[in-house]
A and B are shown apart, each in its own frame.
Chain A
């Protein structure tokens, strides 16, 4: 029972019933008030008229009174003509009501009357007027008629109230029941969603009412959540896969190194190879965590005006030697006089660096990479263009979606997270990120930085708040897990490195630099450079 009382439907039904009853009562009160007042006015009018009529011609007063009394079929008309001394001259009133003022107005008063020879005390509506000859005429009417009418109205009200109340409750219950049935099916669906079945959808009727619209909206939300959860799951799977592959490889290499190394150098070589792989793995884990960190938007605080031209040229300068070593021409095209945009200088630099690094990686020797900043349609556009193998049009939407497309890309160089990081940085800043055709079949990445109309006012730029899509991609669990992994790997790395280092260090002088043979810088580039770099 308390559940019934608590239920939304019951409370609504009760509420509706009480409300409609109140409204009926009000309506009745109004009708009653209007009817009673009308009848009373009508009667008063008649009485006033009769009294004055009799007063106008004292000689015929007796006649008028007689007529007034004789017109009466129900014994409700009363009148009397009294001499100045109070004696009754005519009429069916025994005596002049003592406290009736002689003002010709209608008053309710008790009087002694004679009806069919009997003496009765009656409540009367009466008016009295003094005639010019000193006598007084009183005209009266019984109050019963009006009182009965009033009583009838009130009884009607009482009789009508019960069915009204009953029907309102019934109607309320019916409506509430219908709502409750809809709610119940929705509730069931929501319960299934809560149990983790994200494929469940709320039932949508064809009425197109608010309830249906709400259900449709919730379904849309569920679609989005399902997509995000799938993505997070994808991230988790991809990360786990990416960890397992190098760790397995590492394990095998170390095992082989330990069993088969014939001298310290060979052992060291195995360990070095292992360390390189660990670094690669750590890099991937760091990248995933970093994307999460950027997407959580913790860095908006560091926003300040950034000179994009300077960032682009510094990035170009940083990569110029790398390009030159590979026989690639790195060209610059920066429009001057561009106003600064609000952002995180270091992050924008990182994004441009990643794009440049990719461009150089995927451009064959003899090719060309161009980096620049142009002004177009109210936007400052940083572009990085190459003559590499390009990206098929069908794949262009996919390249920024990390982890999903990653499978193939991660088989090649790097971890496939570079563009994901760029996309996260772009999103944080509210920049657009697109890829179009470049020169000679290559591709061209564009970072479009919207500039406000009066672009010097820094307050016009607001930090693009991360949307749900972004914030949830690397969920806390994955994040924590990754941090654990990261630390675990790092510790292991120290342990691997330490004994070997210690064997060749003199505790008094620190380490001996002459022992570390100068290595050819190019040749020394990490072994993962050779893992292949042909396909994007």
Chain B
């Protein structure tokens, strides 16, 4: 991040909150914590925040009701809903209430951090049809990619995967995020499944001692870094 992000965590379980706070602060964010629904609502209104992380089951005021109130009052702060209710229907309910992302508990801290990062850095211009990251260039209309002068022979799914990564340069994306966005399915795939796809893409992007573009972030996911 170029600047410190101000985040608000609304979570009633102190142990969970402590871990989340520790992790996000460790990543350089400024995080405030509210433990009840009403406190959370007050804190959320007293912003500005860069993003709000809120649990669904809160004492005093249900998370989704809080979010609905907030959206009703015109507050557009990106919000990530946490919930032990991992059900797809619950997720849909969460997004309908105005959540920008939904993460079922239990989650890995890296997953939360990556999703927060994604919320903070919304892809700027999604209408762009030619993407450039370092020496990589991807023409979405023609459906081909190049690294420097070398043409990349990409399959349709690899194209989508690369597009997804190139729209988020320098940002960690988790396997689940890729599976949701590139494959458009929502369940926990076998952990190595996505890796194999990324591995294939990497073999096409990085040949013969070229600088590495896609990095594996241990325990979290992958990130595409510009090489120049």
Contact = CB atoms under 8 A, between A and B. Distances in A.
Contacts of B16: 487, 491
Interface residues of B, number: 49
B1 A510 contact: yes
B218 A521 contact: no
Contacts of A301: 89
Contacts, number: 128
Nearest to B218: A516
Interface string B25-62: 11110000000000000000000000000000000000
A353 B225 CA distance: 31
Contacts of A505: 26-28
A224 interface: no
Nearest to A483: B84
Given A521-B202, A526-B192, A487 B185 contact: no
A529 B106 contact: no
Given A322-B193, A350-B187, A511 B27 contact: yes
A486 interface: yes
B109 A494 contact: yes
A525 interface: yes
Contacts of A357: 190, 193
Contacts of B22: 498, 502
Contact of A321 (B23, B105, B200, B216): B200
B198 A521 contact: yes
A321 B109 CA distance: 29
Contact of B28 (A483, A490, A507, A518): A507
Given A516-B216, A516-B218, A524-B216, A501 B185 contact: no
Contacts of A498: 19, 22-23, 26, 109
**Which among B16, B20, B185, B212 has the greatest number of chain A C-beta atoms within 10 A?**
B185
A366 B202 CA distance: 25
A349 B27 CA distance: 36
B199 interface: yes
Contacts of B225: 513
Given A293-B87, A513-B215, A516-B215, A346 B186 contact: yes
Contact of A302 (B88, B105, B183, B196): B88
B28 A317 contact: no
B89 A508 contact: no
Given A317-B157, A321-B196, A298 B89 contact: yes
Given A487-B106, A490-B107, A502 B26 contact: yes
Contact of B196 (A275, A325, A526): A325
B183 A490 contact: no
A389 interface: no
B19 A495 contact: yes
Contact of A509 (B28, B198, B199, B218): B28
Contacts of A487: 16, 84, 105-106
Majority secondary structure of chain A interface residues (helix, strand, loop or mixed) = helix
Contacts of B105: 486-487, 490
A328 B35 CA distance: 52
Contacts of B88: 299, 302, 344, 346
B223 interface: yes
A521 B196 contact: yes
Nearest to A293: B87
Nearest to B191: A526
Contacts of A349: 185, 187
Nearest to A502: B26
A506 interface: yes
A475 interface: no
A508 to B, nearest CB: 6
A472 B223 CA distance: 43
Contacts of A494: 19-20, 23, 108-109
Contact of A510 (B15, B28, B110, B216): B28
Interface string B184-222: 011111111101111110100000000010011111000
A152 to B, nearest CB: 83
Given A301-B89, A491-B16, A319 B192 contact: no
B106 A521 contact: no
A286 B198 CA distance: 25
Given A321-B200, A507-B26, A286 B193 contact: no
Contacts of A524: 195, 216
B183 A319 contact: no
A266 interface: no
Contact of B109 (A325, A497, A521): A497
Contacts of B157: 317
Given A502-B22, A519-B218, A529 B192 contact: yes
B216 A519 contact: yes
Contact of B183 (A314, A518, A522): A314
Contacts of B202: 521
A282 B217 CA distance: 21
A299 B87 contact: yes
Contacts of B186: 346
A524 B214 CA distance: 15
Contacts of A509: 28
A322 B196 CA distance: 6
A283 interface: yes
B3 to A, nearest CB: 11
Contacts of A43: none
Contacts of B199: 321, 521-522
Nearest to A488: B106
A318 interface: yes
**Which among B19, B186, B202 has the greatest number of chain A C-beta atoms within 10 A?**
B19
Contact of B195 (A302, A353, A521): A521
A94 to B, nearest CB: 106
Given A487-B84, A518-B215, A501 B28 contact: no
Given A494-B23, A497-B109, A506 B28 contact: yes
Given A299-B87, A493-B108, A498-B109, 15 more contacts: A298-B89, A321-B199, A353-B189, A357-B190, A357-B193, A487-B106, A489-B106, A491-B16, A498-B26, A501-B23, A513-B223, A513-B225, A516-B218, A521-B195, A525-B195
Interface of B: 1, 15-16, 19-20, 22-23, 25-28, 84, 86-89, 92, 105-110, 157, 183, 185-193, 195-200, 202, 212, 215-219, 223, 225
8 contacts: A302-B89, A357-B193, A501-B26, A505-B28, A506-B28, A516-B218, A522-B196, A524-B195
Leading 9 A-B pairs by shortest Cβ distance:
A490-B106, A521-B199, A494-B19, A510-B28, A525-B192, A321-B196, A510-B27, A502-B26, A519-B216
